[in-house]
Amino acid sequence: MKPLALALLGSALMAQGPEFTADGKLMRPNYREWIYLSSGLGMTYSAEAKSEASFDNVFVSPAAYREFMATGRWPEKTMFVLEIRKASGHGSINQGGHFQSDLIAIEAEVKDSAKYSDKWAFYSFGDTPGKPGDTARMIPNGSVCQTCHGKNGAVENTFVQFYPTLIEVARKNGTLKANYEAPVPAPESHR
């Protein structure tokens, strides 16, 4: 292959994982072309905190997804994006249920054992509605992000228990954390 073709191929592959600016900020990828894992609707993590319902959409870098499907493990340079959008009720012909609308926030998570003391690092592209930044600084170690993900994620720091096509792969490969507790299904009357 000619050097130029190799360089182009290299940059195409690079774009499938985390990319950083010269001063170390994480660049917002074109994650809508990555692998979509699932959406949460109005998920809240404490009994009292009930904010307005929103959707969160989870995307993962394609190379990391393929490796996970084969081994149940996240390789180095795995990158996740959590896109949070408003849940709207009335609009156009819709009479019931919810659809996704305005962007609320974009968050990210990167695995790099050599670079981060906690292996995984968290980033937020900002929470200005509709205007997330193009770059994000790492959220310092010891954040609530790290505490909750580290304690409750089913595979390493990640919430594989909420991604229906991945949980079975982790189970089959024996990569679920020893202290992982499966979500308790709602009683019949709540379905």
Q: What single-letter amino acid sits at 139? A: I
Closest approach, Cβ 149 to ligand HEC, in A, equals 5
Which of residues 70 and 144 has its CB atom nearest to ligand HEC in the complex?
Answer: 144
Spatial contact of 169 and 72, defined as CB atoms under 8 Å apart: yes
Token pair, residue 62, equals 């394609």
Nearest to residue 106, comparing CAs of 82, 130, 79? Answer: 82
Which of residues 108 and 170 has its CB atom nearest to ligand HEC in the complex?
Answer: 108
Closest approach, Cβ 120 to ligand HEC, in A, equals 8
Give the count of alpha carbons within 13 A of 92, CB side only.
Answer: 7
Spatial contact of 91 and 77, defined as CB atoms under 8 Å apart: no
Closest approach, Cβ 114 to ligand HEC, in A, equals 20
Could you tell me how many residues make up the chain? 191
Closest approach, Cβ 41 to ligand HEC, in A, equals 8
Closest approach, Cβ 5 to ligand HEC, in A, equals 34
Binding site for ligand HEC (CB under 6 A): 38, 40, 43, 45, 56, 58, 80, 82, 107-109, 122, 124, 139, 143-145, 148-149, 153, 157-159, 162
Can you tell me the distance from the alpha carbon of 149 to that of 114, in angstroms, rounded to the nearest whole number? 19
* Phi, psi dihedrals of residue 162, rounded to the nearest 5°: -105, 5
